[in-house]
Chain A
Amino acid sequence: MNRFILFILLLPKALWRRMGADVEQLKAILRVRLLLDGRRPMGMSFRKNQSNKKVNTAIATSILSFLFGLMYLLPLFAMEQQAVMALAFNYSLFLVMMVLMLTSDFVNVLFDARDKYILLPRPISSQTLFLSKMLHIFVYLTRSMLPMALPSWIVVGILFNYKMVLLFPLVLMLLMALALFFVNGIYLLILKLMPVNKFKDALNSIQILFSIIIFFSMYIGPRLIDFDAIEQIKWSHFAWMQYLPTYWLAAIYAWVGASSPYAHVWLYAILGITTPLLCMVLITKYLSPSFLQKMVAIDAASSGQANETLAHKKQKKGNNSSWVYQLANLLNKSKDAQAAFLLTWWQTNRSRTFKIKVLPSYAMMPMYILGMFFLKEQQSISESIQIAIKKPSTPLLLIYMTSYVFFNAITYFIHSDAYKASWVYYAAPIQQPGKVILGGLKAIWLKYFIPFYLIVCMIVLSIWHWSALPDLILGLLHLSIIMLVVVLMSYRALPFSKMESMQTQQKKFLRGMFALLVPFVLGMLHFAVHAFLWLKIILIILMAIAVYYLIDSILQTPWSLIKDESDL
């Protein structure tokens, strides 16, 4: 497969030479990069994933991409009568997605630390190196985008005609070239606006934003869209679209028989073909040298080769805050637990992986609540609120929905890119690893659950007043039980000591699904006793005892249950 990809990539040899690349070197670099991709399978991104289940990973990723691609059918169906406009919207959605994917993932290819040792000392021109990165990311995009584009590809064939089926892959490639150009633009802009050492931080924020957008568009977006209104859209409302490259690409379709509201559609079509190619030439020939220089600077800033001026900028004075130490001592009796509490508190503040995986769920939660209670069809928001308040289940739903936010936090408090640093646990005189687990868990509970729960408490108390207090106490106990049960069943490990892999995810999936029954059962139990105060009080006492025993179970975790993955 790699040979075929390589053959296709190197077909326009003359073009690559004209761009200043050495084709033999280009071939050698790409061959190794594709080989490495096969040995280190990628998920949604180029981040390290050392799982052996690469086939499963690829299939799972493809299915997810395919499902995601179904969303892009919306403009095709909604504006079927305006083929060029429908395609322009469809292409725009693809372009936005590609730009978002590349903005976050391309950085791992573009700023691959290994290049510094392996490629940069060799006699390789910046054009060759940059083009190799571009083509590599091009392959990555094709692999990710093909399943995503499949629904649109099929539908344009059904809705329009077979010629469009033939044209679609070409358009997709041109879209990729455009996306690469835009992303380079974004990078250049960030590099211009921010100091070099802030570059990766800025990209982290973009990545988090990207995750939120994906969640939003997958779960909430469709609820908010008024499909009837879309069907009423007139192309005249979007006259500005004709100035966008995606419209030019859509205009290519006019060549094979579609009608367009604009004259000189052939001109747009030519623009559609030439613009992406010109963009590619522009970035490879003119932008790549300065880019590579900055790449070295960024790499130096993040890898420790940096001189004093770069290194001292990473200084974090904020970590002197003694209140965290005091909090750790206050909430944990044993030193082991204090250590784990502090480590968890700091790591969760700074780990990029943790933030990307966990923070979007916090943005999603309010959206979910909005979607569930207040965005009902044929109801005004005030009507929705009135109806929601009258339902006895509403405060309980609010309480139990908060369980979602800490599921992610628990999952990623044991996983870390720096899992090999966990060797210290095995060299330290820790008698009960359970104390360490509990210390870390307390930090997660306090940092990622309690603030959210307090907000829910305030909302519930302001609407249902003090009568809801027993429910809030019972809810808190139930949620704590849920957290402890999930940890006992699936995540009984030392903080930041595990490598995340598909294999471990799959193993935990079934146990996790079973663990999810616990919130359901406890929620139903709470609902059943909801009308009886005395029953709630009895339950509160029983659940407090259950919490005590569950904490004790975690404390009693023996070393034999802890698997060392530190590879020391």
Chain B
Amino acid sequence: MTPLLAIQQVSKHYASKTVLDQINLDIYRGEIIGYIGPNGAGKSTTVKILTGIIQDYEGAVYYDGQDIRAHLAELKQKLGYVPELAELYEMLTPKEYLYFIGKLHHMEDALIEERMLNMMASFDMTPHLNERMDSFSKGMRQKVLLISGLLHNPEIIFLDEPLSGLDANAVLLVKELLQVLKQQGKTIFYCSHMMDVVEKVSDRIVLINNGQLIANGTMQELRAHENESLETIFARLTNASNPALQMRSFTN
């Protein structure tokens, strides 16, 4: 099977620091990839390369067999991106912001209107459609951000900590949304530190540490023994020291 997204020998350096070191990864259509790693491991840089925001890297990324650097606008039309802690033009209302985003994705006004209203309603946000976002809570902004990433019906969706700031009900909604998107054949690249969610929603888990991929497989494949949680796998593979010991010295 041809991968939808093929990452081949991708490296990225900032001055003398290597952030990504010869990454190789294939992502197939309809998959949910859980992309995890410690802080500063290179997760966000990977996402920025895959979404075409960073273009000065070594190696190549192919989308449907085409080098993304040569077909950036085409790729961006097909992908949805929800960055972590992203800012919005919060002086606008969700309706105005989503119109702005929809137009940047070359959508017709009627289609923007229809999809925006449906999505806002799904997130219980309809009453806030015409309120300025500077009065919104973190969770409400995150919902608008999620809608803006999905408004143009992308084929592949990059979610960087999408549950940030969401309440328990909204988290359930997003988990459900991921399943619906999967059923629709969407490919999802899911970055998060919330291991329990990643464990539950991902078909395959990719672990990055110090700019290198150190694990890539299903939960079953990654487990050293039965019932090992993703949290434990993460600690084992990233060589984290014993948290109990660490915290004992903290309080002493």
With A339-B99, A347-B89, A568-B83 given, name 6 new contacts (CB 8 A): A197-B135, A302-B134, A314-B134, A335-B106, A418-B87, A423-B87
How many A-B pairs with Cβ below 8 Å? 126
Report yes or no: B99 in contact with A325, Cβ–Cβ below 8 A: yes
Contact flag A304-B137 (CB < 8 Å), given A311-B131, A319-B130, A335-B106: yes
Say if the beta carbon of A491 comes within 8 Å of chain B. Answer: no
The docked-state distance in angstroms from the alpha carbon of A11 to that of B134 is 42
Min distance, Cβ A347 to any Cβ of chain B, angstroms? 6
The 4 closest A-B pairs by CB, nearest first: A339-B103, A429-B76, A428-B104, A314-B135
**A314:B132 contact, CB within 8 angstroms:** yes
Q: Is the CB of A304 within 8 A of B135?
A: yes
Given contacts A319-B93, A319-B95, A335-B106, contact A427 B76 (CB under 8 A): yes
Max chain A Cβ within 10 angstroms of own Cβ: one of B75, B106, B128: B106
Contact call A315/B105, Cβ cutoff below 8 A = no
Which of A305, A312, A329, A335 contacts B131 (CB under 8 A)?
A312
Give CA–CA (A319, B109) in the complex, Å: 16
Interface size on B, residues (CB 8 A): 44
A contacts, CB < 8 Å to B: 197, 301-302, 304-306, 310-317, 319-320, 325, 329, 335-336, 338-339, 342-343, 346-347, 350-351, 418, 420-421, 423-431, 496, 564, 566, 568
Indicate if the CB atoms of B89 and A418 lie closer than 8 Å: yes
Whether B223 sits at the interface, judged by CB under 8 Å, is: no
Say yes or no for B46: interface residue by CB 8 A criterion. no
Residues of A contacting B: mostly: helix
Query: Could you say which residues of chain A place their CB within 8 Å of the CB of B93?
Result: 316, 319
Q: Contacts A339-B103, A346-B92 given; indicate if A325 touches B77 (C-beta within 8 A).
A: no
Is B81 located at the chain interface by the 8 A CB criterion?
yes
Q: Which B residues touch A320, using CB under 8 A? A: 95, 130
Q: A335-B103, A346-B96, A431-B73 are in contact. Are A311 and B89 (CB under 8 A)?
A: no
Chain A residues whose C-beta falls within 8 Å of the C-beta of B88 in the assembled complex: 418, 421
Alpha-carbon separation in the docked complex, A274 to B109 (Å): 66
Are B105's CB and A342's CB within 8 A?
Answer: no
Which residues 56-84 of B have a CB within 8 angstroms of A?
A: 72-77, 81, 83
* Least distance between A215 CB and chain B CB atoms (Å): 25
Contact A306 B135 (CB under 8 A): yes
CB-based contact B135/A427 at 8 Å = no
Subset of 19 A-B contacts with CB under 8 Å: A314-B134, A315-B132, A319-B95, A319-B96, A320-B95, A335-B105, A335-B107, A336-B106, A339-B101, A342-B96, A347-B92, A418-B88, A423-B86, A425-B104, A429-B72, A429-B73, A429-B76, A430-B73, A568-B48
Q: Is B200 an interface residue (CB 8 A)?
A: no
Contact in complex: B100, A350 (CB < 8 Å)? no
> Are B130 and A316 in contact, CB atoms less than 8 angstroms apart?
yes
* Contacts A350-B91, A568-B83, A568-B86; A424 near B104 (Cβ below 8 A): yes
Quick check: B48 and A343 within 8 Å, CB to CB? no
The residue in chain B whose Cβ has the minimal distance to the Cβ of A317 is B130
A427-B51, A430-B73 known; A336 and B104 CB under 8 Å?
yes
B138 lies within 8 A of chain A by Cβ: yes
A564 to chain B, nearest CB (A): 8
**Complex alpha-carbon distance, A306 and B101, angstroms:** 27
